């Protein structure tokens, strides 16, 4: 296998792994944070109340997961294009919809199913491009 | 108030993502994910001014989105969060000089329309 192809293959696998970590930590983090803040009820906007909320287990879990998301997202952007990472991680919208269906028993309407199909198609299409512009050889044809 | 939050959220998300991309690109690819090496990389990243700008912008984005969902329905707020895909892709192409081919443009267009549908 030519070195450049091997490099693209390695980069794609690494990118997919960290994209999965990024999406799952983002969806789980936002859900935990929302659940925690809702179960706390109206706490006001004072700094003391917001810091106090951090000690609520669900809020703490949400914040921890969002820190994981930040690092995974930063790691991805250290080698992959923004115009690749941003659309590919949009699969999070689909994960959120399925999480709502399976955990909260939300109904997925035909319109929402259409949205799921469109987002999945878009993510698949972008996922077929090389993750990093620099990974492409400059003076040869695209590898696909 | 609603539209002010939409604009604030869109601008801060776009600035956050573009500066995060610039900062991380200037740092270079993270190869080593062992705790010691990761700590070293984090120490370097935390001193990168572009990453600092990005983190501040992301904080503004997070709180403005939280405020937006508290005053506007999700069917409005969620598609608005995907509207940033358009300015971000344009900046990725013309500022970050990324190779945005037809598959990326088409994929992003499908996602933006899909997010409008999924939020209904």
Segment A76-125, tens digit of pLDDT: 999 999 999 999 999 999 998 888 888 888 888 999 999 999 999 999 99
CB A91, CB A23: distance < 8 Å: yes
Q: Which of A97, A86, A32, A40 is nearest to A62 (CA)?
A: A32
Please count the other Cβ atoms lying within 10 Å of the Cβ belonging to residue B109: 17
Q: What is the pLDDT of residues A40-86, one digit of tens each?
A: 877 676 778 778 888 889 999 999 999 999 999 999 999 999 999 99
Q: What pTM was computed for the model?
A: 0.87
Nearest CA to CA, how far is B113 from chain A (Å)? 7
Does the CB of A121 have a partner CB in chain B at under 8 Å? yes
CA distance B95 to A55: 41
Does the CB of B30 have a partner CB in chain A at under 8 Å? yes
Below-70 pLDDT ranges, chain B? none
Is it the case that residue A5 has pLDDT exceeding 60?
A: yes
Q: Per residue, what are the HEC states of A111-140? A: HHHHHHHHHHHHHHHHHCCCCCHHHCCCCC
A interface test, pick of B16, B118, B119 with most A CB neighbours within 10 Å: B118
Is it the case that residue A12 has pLDDT exceeding 80?
A: yes
Task: Give residue B31's pLDDT.
Answer: 85
Does the CB of A56 have a partner CB in chain B at under 8 Å? no
Task: Give residue A135's pLDDT.
Answer: 52
User: A18: burial class by Cβ within 10 Å (0-12, 13-18, 19+)?
Assistant: buried
CA distance A13 to A94: 21
Q: Name the residue among B21, B27, B28 with its Cβ closest to that of A82.
A: B21
Does the CB of B92 have a partner CB in chain A at under 8 Å? yes
Q: What is the predicted ipTM? A: 0.92
CB A112, CB B118: distance < 8 Å: yes
Please count the other Cβ atoms lying within 10 Å of the Cβ belonging to residue A119: 27
Where does the pLDDT of residue A2 fall: very low under 50, low under 70, confident under 90, or very high at 90 and above? Answer: low
Residue range A129-133: mean pLDDT, rounded: 89
- Helix ranges (DSSP H) in chain A: 3-40, 47-53, 57-77, 82-88, 91-104, 110-127
Q: Do B110 and A128 touch (CB under 8 A)?
A: no
Task: Give residue A66's pLDDT.
Answer: 92
Q: Name the residue among A75, A109, A128 with its Cβ closest to that of B120.
A: A109
Residue with tokens 């319109």: A111
Task: Give residue A141's pLDDT.
Answer: 45
């Amino acid at each position: 296998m030519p070195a450049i192809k091997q490099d693209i293959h390695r980069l794609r696998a690494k990118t997919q792994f960290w994209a999965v970590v990024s999406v799952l930590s983002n969806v789980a983090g936002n859900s935990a944070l929302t659940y925690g803040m809702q179960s706390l009820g109206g706490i006001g906007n004072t700094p003391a109340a917001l810091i106090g909320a951090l000690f609520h287990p669900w809020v703490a879990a949400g914040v921890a997961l969002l820190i994981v998301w930040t690092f995974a997202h930063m790691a991805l952007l250290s080698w992959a294009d923004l115009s690749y990472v941003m659309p590919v991680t949009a699969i999070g919208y689909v994960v959120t919809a399925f999480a709502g269906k399976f955990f909260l028993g939300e109904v997925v309407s035909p319109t929402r199913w259409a949205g799921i199909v469109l987002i999945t198609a878009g993510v698949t299409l972008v996922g077929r491009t090389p993750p990093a512009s620099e990974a492409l050889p400059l003076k040869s044809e695209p590898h696909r | 108030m609603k539209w002010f939050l939409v604009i604030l959220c869109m601008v801060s998300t776009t600035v956050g993502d573009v500066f995060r991309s610039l900062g991380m690109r200037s740092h270079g690819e993270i190869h080593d994910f062992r705790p010691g090496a990761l700590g070293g990389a984090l120490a370097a990243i935390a001193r990168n001014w572009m990453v600092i700008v990005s983190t501040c912008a992301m904080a503004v984005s997070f709180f403005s989105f939280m405020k937006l969902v508290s005053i506007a329905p999700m069917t409005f707020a969620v598609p608005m969060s995907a509207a940033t895909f358009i300015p971000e892709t344009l900046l990725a192409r013309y500022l970050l000089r990324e190779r945005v081919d037809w598959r990326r443009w088409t994929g992003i267009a499908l996602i933006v329309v899909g997010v409008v549908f999924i939020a209904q």
